[in-house]
Structure 1
Amino acid sequence: MTTNEGFLNQRQRYQSIKLPQDFSDEEMARDWTLSDADKKEISKYRKNSRIFIAIQLSALRLYGRFLAEVNGLSPRIVNYLNNQLGLPPSLTVPTPDREATFSEYRKNILNYLGFSKYDDEAQARLQKWLEQQALQANLPDELFLRAERYLLAERVVLPGASVLERLVISVCAETHEQLFEVLCDRLTPELRTAIDNLLVVQAGDQRSLFYLLKEYPPSASISSIQSYLERYRTLEETGIGKLEAQCVDPAFIDYLYKLAVRYNARDIKRFKEPKRYAMMACFLLETRKGLLDSLVKMHDQFIMDMLRKAKHIHEMKHREFRKRQKKAIDTVLDTTQLIIDWPDDKPLHKTDLWQQVSEKQLLESITDLHSFKRLEERGYGDILLGRYPSLRKYFAEFIQLPFAVKSGTEPLMNVINLVRQLDAGILKKIPDNAPTGFMPQELRRSYKDKDGHIKRNAWELGLAIAMKEALRSGDLYLPQSKQHVSFWGLMLDERHWQANREASYEALQQPYQDAVKSTLTLQFHQAVGKAEKCFGPDTFAEIKDGKLKLKKDDKAEIPDAVIKLQKVIDASLPPIRIEQLLMEVDQQTGFSRHFIPLQQHQSRPANFYKTLIAAMISQATNLGVVAMSASVKGVTVDMLRHVLQFYVREETNKNASAEIVNQHHQLPFSDIHGSGTLSSSDAQRFKIRADSLLASYYPRYYGYYEKAIGIYTHVSDQYAVYSTKAISCSPREALYVLDGLLENNSILKIREHTTDTHGYTEIVFALCYLLGYYFMPRIRDLKDQQLYKVDRNVNHGIFNPLLNKTADIDIVEEQWEAMIHVAQSLKERTAPAHVIVQRLTNSFPADRLSRAFTNLGRIIKTEYILRYVTDKPLRRTVQLQLNKGEYRHKLPRWVFFANQGEFTTGDYEEIMNKASCLSLVSNAILYWNTSRISDIVEGLRNQGELVDDETLAHISLLPYKHVLPNGTYFIEEE
């Protein structure tokens, strides 16, 4: 890596000190409190200079630098320092008139705090320290922050702009070359040969195996699962598993893996051997993990699809036989009645009976009734057994994957080993005492033959279904995978947890284990008591015959002034082409600076800016590069592909979008619509034409045979999208609520969050509570929700009929330490939140930790529902915020117009690229609209019109029909 290939993250590059404007009193006291010694030192200066000295002294100690613009500091901090110094409040901070005076002040402050200047000697020490750190495979992003902390600890003034960055990049460039060589030397000749073979298109193939290993899996079918099992087997045969124990830092492996996937085989073969082999080794290590995760998902999808189709066939047969059964019953009943009514003195002969009843019809009716009886009792199982031969085509190899089980689930592993022995010929038949407790109900009547022996087809099919469930819950896992490891393998390791345990309780602001029961009980009683006081005045709810009855909330009337103003604003917004809008917003926010390659260097190809904007539009509108190149003069397909390959990716889109959100938050007009502390999340479905493992059936909108994906977005009360995720439509949306909240990289400090019914579970209630978010979903059929109390012996007055069950608070107390461990792991993002939530959800009720989370969630849910039914402003807040999110869905439909608004790619990375570009463009339109609407309102006020903030709060910031997303782009010169 050359010096100009440094890869510092743009958000962590050296920037001038960003002075805090939004902070808590605790943070101010922590960072800006003066000691007695400080006050004594400051008192040596003239009175009108003391506040300036106090600011510079505190800033040097806090940031390692002096402040150039002291009047940019928050007035709260300035007056907090004034109070400590006994000085009167001030609007501005007096600064020295002469540079010599400031130099003298700096020298005195350095001497007082024991700081030294950053000179050649300090740089030499820092360089030596950086070399040692870089040899541990630390990336420049992390190393840059560590270097700043190192200099602060050494009491050295941090150097000026770009000095530290250049040093870090230079050291990493040299050191990482050494790491490449070290890693390369560890590879066996056989592994090197295998890597070389991966990069070559073999005879009879159209693509290299390297290309195939980068592909996102298609939907689960026998052939696709077999193909991915073969790829995994080929990967194992390279011997990459032997390297893992000797390898370097996981972050460095992940960086080299991400770098490798950006290149094709031809490009990688051009690198020098050390870098080429190091990159490919890391690529293979990470790809093996990804293959195992993909195989688990493919097995899950195959089984789910098999069950779905079997259920559909069963329902069709049931519907058909139900019609025939009615006729058969009538025939049998008529025949039975005939026999009963036959005269006693007259012998009944068959010939007499057949004269009255059709023999053929009766026999067919009896056959139909037997068939219906079997269909009712064993039909679904029989249909499933018909799928067993298809399952066997891949299951024999799938079961050879390196599975492990958590304690208590050993019988399932025993069954897996028995099947392996049967396949290997070690066992000739299934032992009569083989475990069968895992068998699903549908197969329990079919798994033994008439002699009482276990039938392999039903037993093994039951195992395949049980493995799907066990892999979801984490009872069965793959230690060598990435996401399907053991549950505690997803958490902070024990050493890290114990070292940070005390700080975790403090950061989460949660009580210790010995106080949690009393804290939760007191909190619950206060919440119920408050709801009881509000229950009468709010007529939304009543309790009748021991049940909760709810009225329909009055629909919020939209004042005429709002309707009129919205029409004026919509008519006043000038038409604008989408590329012009993006460029105008970029001029004001500078979001395009975040589009840098993975290596983080600043070089740009020719005509970069125009190509970048065109590439973003090609993704956000769903046009693609071919159609876009035909619509933009001077931009070719190859130029677009190059920019998309190296510059426009999920990470850069997310950072650029956050830049727009941050600067939109600073616009005064944004505050009228909210403070940026409330948000909602919801999924928007899009049809997908391509074959993809992410796609799933969604009959509600797309029928029985069409597949769709969901784009799950988190939208703030200021209409900004701060998180975007492409998801499958199969699982419940609640899995993904925490992902967006925890991965929020904007300055928005979300404290309250709402969803619709699909976004809530009791476990999500519990986790939001532990993480400091107030979760307030809109729950369908609210009156039917089960409510819980914490103490069965306490009388809750009017709510007694509703609180008819008791949450197990004892198990919450028992598992509290583990629950805090999980919450802190989520906060530090040791694994994707949806993976952890899914494990907890699928482990209930067998797992005690999952039960603890569920019972805590029941308590928090009960408190929330009682508040919801008695607090009209809360209901209105929830409804208005969900309306904002749902209204925002119209904008993506408008922009994402090409190919009928349907995804034509099945690759997850490409889907996320389109989705994140779409959110970025949505935020750019929001920013442009907000600025223009603010100008329109200001113009109306200047004309004497009365436009109050209450009216403006109901005005949408997302009108979109004035934005023109299609046509020929860049018609005018830039």
Structure 2
Amino acid sequence: MNLSQDLVDRAFEIHDKQILSLQSKGRKQQEEIQKQNGKAVNEKIVHYADLGAALIKARDEGIDPFVMLEMVMPWEKFVESVEEAKKLSRPLNYDYLDLLESRFNYLRKYTPTLLNALEFRSTKSAEPLMRALDTIREMNNTGKRKVPEGAPLDFVSNRWQKHVFDEDGTINRHYYEMAALMELRNYVRSGDISIVGSRQYRDFDEYLVPQNEWKSIHSTGTRLAVSLNVEEYLEERTTSLIHRLRWVSENIDALEGVNVEKGRLHVKRLEKDVPEEAKQYSATLYSMLPRVKLTDLLLEVASWTGFDEQFIHASTNRPPKAEEKPIVLAALMAMGTNIGLTKMADATPGISYHQMANTAQWRMYDDAMNRAQATLVNFHHRRSLASYWRDGSTSSSDGMRVQVGVSSLSADPNPHYGSGKGATIYRFVSDQFSSFYTKVINTNARDAVHVIDGLLHHESDLSIEEHYTDTAGYTDQVFGLTHLLGFRFAPRLRDLSDAKLYVIGKPSDFPKLENLLRGQIDMKVIRENYDDVLRLAHSIREGKVSGALIMGKLGSYARQNKVAKALREMGRIEKTIFILDYISSESMRRRIQRGLNKGEAMNALARAIFFGKHGELRERALQDQLQRASALNILINAISVWNTVYLGKATDLLRSKGTLREDLLKHVSPLGWEHINFLGEYRFDPERVTTLESLRPLNQG
């Protein structure tokens, strides 16, 4: 069943990518034409400006216009110039669509098969397109070349009209079919057309808990963080919003580093608050740590935590035997450093490519990787030193762009890679410097839609209450959904001066903020759709559907989708409350800054570890890319654990000497790697493994 759904989804993803590629090539061709013709077009403009001036002069002075024209340009040259201008000219309302007809055959290579293989169902608004697809299928099956009279045309947008109809009024087969296939992509993305047998493109209602089940849940309760009664919800959020608006309006002049000018909000950048002596103290602590090879580090951390025991065989359900553990760690290191199994086998005496490939296939599946990761995070969370960095209740997420060096459906062009393609490893980092969730996402996708999954579906013991992202990590709907699920969402807002604040009531009630309050919350749409929004949130909370999938669909839905609109309005309440808290509290701004800095520090370590193949992913399948990203995450966490244990030993020694500076420990990170050797011949020797009671000696010289 899962394989069938994946194949259906993959088939439509191919079509989606082909349409995007077609549009991209059309735009590039148009840009090339404009570049190539730019000089010639400019020459024509200069010529015709001179000719126009001559005609004006001829009329003003009563001179024969043809005589004046020939004084500027000989008649033969003028005729020749007009012909050249015709060749250079494009339609007055031109766009790149008129360049796509030559690319029709690219689509024809697969679209007849696609239309026959997939079964589509639609809402009423998409029925004209469904009839057009039936017409195209019939033409494909019968071999007809011309679009029959009476073919459906209601789906053809104004932009396509001038291309679909030829000059004699007949329908252009190529443009008719291309218009239909592009609209099919748009309608599927918007949810107006669903695909039978799909996981990602089903009817929207199928993603949610059934209505009858949802009604019974009303009496038993949910794990959502808000009341099921819309009036109670609105009263509570209105009170919270009005209270903050009133306080900020009364105190805006006293807020340090905050000012309002010409209806725009400005917040002064925070000064660095890490004392210089903290950096020196961190260097002193790290100088005490013994040098270690990555192989020995993994063996030691495995012996302390047992994370390697989580790689249970998918067929036999058995954890690895003692003699198999070095193979597991070697395969993990091969993928996490990105050197690959072949190179790892060459560098690791006694461990073969076949052994590691077998382990990677049968032991390193998603659930096993997640369990191993959670084991490391939980062990780290319990270390006393970790409490100096915070309590594990806050987290941040950030993407690490990675170039993809092969053709892959999950890789997309991005200016960051020049002419190449890439993906993004999206990582969630706790305030204690552990990475508790990771996934590989489209590098052009907005990070925001993936925030919910990381907060809900990690398997660690961390209890996240507040989450930070960069600007790309938020939308109004994410603000709304995180509140419903019980998380405090706190992005860093670089475009704060352009942020739109919303009010319930009259903006004039808050005179000093009136110019900032540019929107009214639509209470009516919230009241009418509150129950459906809660049903959606409950479905995500209970794992019926992933947050990324449903948020992606809501983001692409047409404006008239009431659930999406209601969630957006609820999110606007939360975003406004957050911005008011953000400008009111410097400590909150610093907390967000520190959280995001921890994620950036982890990305630096990740790039140092992921050195193989020049840091490129060479796997085509998303699942294989995710396996590499998960292995990298486990290596990061293993290093963080090892450093934390030994930094703990170093602080114990300094404490016994009376020289410990506890006030500086919160500025020390367990992500240093200068003392770790990632290179060389790799030997996994279990005989030399230390225990927590017999750690390597510190450097005290």
TM range (shorter): over 0.9
Find the aligned partners of 2:39 and 2:221 in 1 and give their Cα distance: 64
The alpha-carbon distance between structure 1 residues 531 and 844, as it changes in their structure 2 partners (threshold 3 A), is farther
1:876 is displaced (CA, Å) by: 0.8
Compute the displacement of 1:403 (Å).
Answer: 0.7
Counterpart of 1:174 in structure 2 is none
User: SS of the residue aligned with 2:599?
Assistant: helix
Alignment of 1:772 with 2:486, yes or no, is yes
The 3-state SS of whatever aligns with 1:319 is helix
Letter in 2 for 1:970: R
Aligned to 2:538: 824
Distance 1:348 1:924 in 2: 86
Tell me, in whole angstroms, the C-alpha distance in 2 between the residues paired with 1:938 and 1:364.
90
Over 3 Å counting, the alpha-carbon distance change for 1:780 and 1:331 in structure 2 is: same
Aligned pairs (5 A) from 1:571-650: 571-599=287-315, 601-602=317-318, 604=320, 607-650=323-366
Change (3 A) 1:946 1:383: same
Is 1:664 the counterpart of 2:377? The answer is: no
Q: Distance in 1 between matches of 2:356 and 2:151?
A: 64
Is residue 122–residue 194 contact of structure 2 (8 Å, CA) maintained in 1?
yes
Aligned to 2:226: 509
The structure, 1 or 2, with the larger RCO (C-alpha pairs under 8 Å, 6+ apart) is: 2
C-alpha contact (below 8 Å) 1:325/1:365 kept by paired residues: no
Q: Which amino acid in the other structure matches residue 423 of structure 1?
A: N
In 1, Cα distance between equivalents of 2:518 and 2:626: 46
Q: Report the equivalent of 2:673.
A: 960
Q: Post-superposition shift, 1:383?
A: 1.3
Listed as ranges, the matches of 1:758-797 within 5 Å are 758-792=472-506, 795-797=509-511
Measure how far apart 1:869 and its partner are. Answer: 2.0
Judge conservation of contact 1:432–1:454 (CA < 8 Å) in 2: no
1:806 Cα deviation from its structure 2 partner: 0.9
Q: 1:915 aligns with which of 612, 625, 629?
A: 629
Query: Structure 1 residue runs of 4+, over 6 Å off?
Result: none
- Residue of structure 2 aligned with 1:721, choices 435, 442, 460: 435
- 582-591 or 502-511, which deviates more: 502-511
Partner of residue 806 from structure 1, selected from 499, 520, 529: 520
> Quick check: 1:434 aligned with 2:152?
yes
Q: Return closer, same or farther for 1:790/1:319 CA change in 2, 3 Å cut-off.
A: farther
CA distance in 2, matches of 1:753, 1:414: 47
Give the conservation status (yes or no) of the 8 Å contact 2:299–2:684: no
**Distance across 2 between alignment mates of 1:530 and 1:906:** 54
Task: Name which of structure 1's ranges 461-470 and 674-683 shifts more when overlaid on structure 2.
Answer: 461-470
Q: How many residues align?
A: 684
Question: Is 2:170 the partner of 1:456?
Answer: no
Look up the match of 2:407. Answer: 691
Residue of 107, 131, 134 corresponding to 1:391 = 107
- Offset of residue 612 of structure 1: 1.2
Deviation at 1:761, TM superposition (A): 0.9
Partners of 1:328 and 1:362 within 8 A in 2: no
Distance 2:89 2:369 in 1: 59
Q: Distance in 2 between matches of 1:635 and 1:916?
A: 22
Structure 1 window deviating more from structure 2 (316-325 vs 671-680): it is 316-325
SS in structure 2 at match of 1:953: helix
Query: Which is greater in Rg?
Result: 1
Residue of structure 2 in register with 1:742 after alignment: 456
Correspondence 1:882 to 2:592: no
1:833 to 533, 547, 553: 547
The residue aligned with 1:235 is none
CA distance in 2, matches of 1:366, 1:520: 67
Aligned partner of 2:190 among 470, 473, 487: 473
The alpha-carbon distance between structure 1 residues 806 and 361, as it changes in their structure 2 partners (threshold 3 A), is farther
Instruction: Give the Cα separation in 2 of the matches to 1:860 and 1:472.
Output: 27
Residue 916 of structure 1, CA deviation: 0.5
Question: How far apart, in 1, do the equivalents of 2:16 and 2:166 lie?
Answer: 28
Instruction: State the Cα distance separating 1:523 from its structure 2 match.
Output: 2.3
Which one of the candidate residues 948, 951, 971 is aligned to 2:664? 951
Change over 3 Å in CA distance of 1:857–1:973 after alignment to 2: closer
Deviations 1:127-167 (CA, angstroms, capped at 9, x unpaired): xxxxxxxxxxxxxxxxxxxxxxxxxxxxxxxxxxxxxxxxx
User: Any conservation in 1 of the 2:16–2:185 contact (CA below 8 Å)?
Assistant: yes
1:418 aligns with 2:135: yes
Distance between the aligned counterparts of 1:552 and 1:367, measured in 2? 60
**Shift in Å at residue 953 of structure 1?**
0.9
Distance 2:606 2:223 in 1: 41
Deviation digits for residues 78-115 of structure 1 (CA, Å, limit 9, x no counterpart)? xxxxxxxxxxxxxxxxxxxxxxxxxxxxxxxxxxxxxx
Paired-residue identity, %? 27
Q: Which amino acid aligns with 2:275?
A: P
Quick one: distance in 1 between partners of 2:600 and 2:79?
59
Q: CA deviation at 1:438?
A: 4.7
- Equivalent position amino acid for 1:498 in 2: K
Q: 1:369, CA displacement in angstroms?
A: 4.9
Shift of the 943–604 alpha-carbon distance from structure 1 to 2, 3 Å rule, reads closer
Gaps of 5+ in 2: 688-701
CA offsets, 1:399-455, max 9 Å, x none?
A: 22201113443233222223223333498534457233453x543432222233433
How far does the alpha carbon of each residue in 1:298-344 deviate from its partner, in whole angstroms, 9 at most, with x for none? 11111111111211121222233343222211101111222332385
Letter in 1 for 2:186: E
Mapped partners of 1:685, 1:372: distance in 2:
41
The alpha carbon displacement at 1:811 in A equals 0.4
Paired residues of 1:430 and 1:456 also in contact (CA < 8 A): no
**How big is the shift at 1:363?**
4.1
Tell me the secondary structure at the aligned position of residue 354 of structure 2: helix
Partner of 2:652: 938
Q: Against the structure 1 CA distance between its residues 880 and 360, is the aligned structure 2 distance closer, same or farther, given a 3 Å change threshold? A: farther
Partner of 2:43: 327
Q: Which residue of 2 aligns with 1:228?
A: none
Does structure 1 retain, via aligned residues, the 8 Å contact 2:258–2:583?
Answer: yes
> How far off is 1:879 after superposition?
0.9
Corresponding residue of 1:553: 269
Aligned pair in 2 of structure 1 residues 406, 559: CA closer, same or farther (>3 Å)? same
Residues 208-219 of structure 1 mapped to structure 2, 5 A cutoff: none
**Per the alignment, in what secondary structure is the counterpart of residue 444 of structure 2?**
coil
- Determine the C-alpha separation between the residues in 1 that align with 2:199 and 2:267: 49
Asked if structure 2 preserves the Cα contact closer than 8 Å seen for 1:505 and 1:820, the reply is no
The offset of 1:485, in angstroms, is: 0.7
Please give the TM-score of this superposition, normalised by the length of structure 2. 0.93
Cα 1:348–1:963, aligned 2, differ >3 Å: closer, same or farther?
same
Choose from 483, 486, 493 the match for 2:210: 493
Assess if the C-alpha contact under 8 Å between 1:504 and 1:820 holds in 2. Answer: no
Checking the alignment, whether the CA contact within 8 Å between 1:473 and 1:838 is kept in structure 2 is: no
Give the AA of the match of 1:481.
Answer: S
* Residue identity opposite 2:441 in structure 1: I
The 3-state SS of whatever aligns with 1:821 is helix
- Residue in 2 that maps onto 1:281: none
**Contact residue 326 and residue 684 of structure 2 kept, 8 A:** no
1:860 shift after superposition: 1.3
2: CA distance between counterparts of 1:929 and 1:603?
27
Residues 620, 921 of structure 1: 8 Å contact kept: yes
Of 393, 402, 405, 2:122 maps to 405
Equivalent of residue 340 in structure 1, options 17, 39, 56:
56
Task: Give the whole-Å Cα distance in 2 for the aligned partners of 1:886 and 1:591.
Answer: 25
CA distance in 1, matches of 2:261, 2:65: 63
User: What is the 5 A alignment of 1:345-360?
Assistant: 347-349=64-66, 353-354=69-70, 356-359=72-75
Query: Which residue does the alignment assign to 2:691?
Result: none
Per the TM alignment, residue 733 of structure 1 is displaced from its structure 2 partner at its CA by 1.4
For residues 870-910 of structure 1, give each alpha carbon's deviation from its aligned partner in whole angstroms, at most 9, with x where no partner exists. Answer: 22111111111111101110111111111111112212222
Find the counterpart in structure 2 of residue 856 from structure 1: 570
CA distance in 1, matches of 2:324, 2:435: 26
CA offset at residue 368 of structure 1? Answer: 5.6
Per-residue CA deviations over 1:36-77 (Å, capped at 9, x if unaligned) read xxxxxxxxxxxxxxxxxxxxxxxxxxxxxxxxxxxxxxxxxx
1:526 aligns with 2:243: yes
Given the superposition, is the C-alpha separation of residues 436 and 454 from structure 1 closer, same or farther in structure 2, using an over 3 Å criterion?
farther
Q: Residue type of the partner of 2:325?
A: Y
Equivalent runs, 1:140-159 vs 2, <5 Å: none
Instruction: Give the Cα–Cα distance (whole angstroms) in 1 for the partners of residues 222 and 367 of structure 2.
Output: 31
Task: Provide, for residues 163-182 of structure 1, a one-character-per-residue CA deviation record: whole Å limited to 9, x for no partner.
Answer: xxxxxxxxxxxxxxxxxxxx
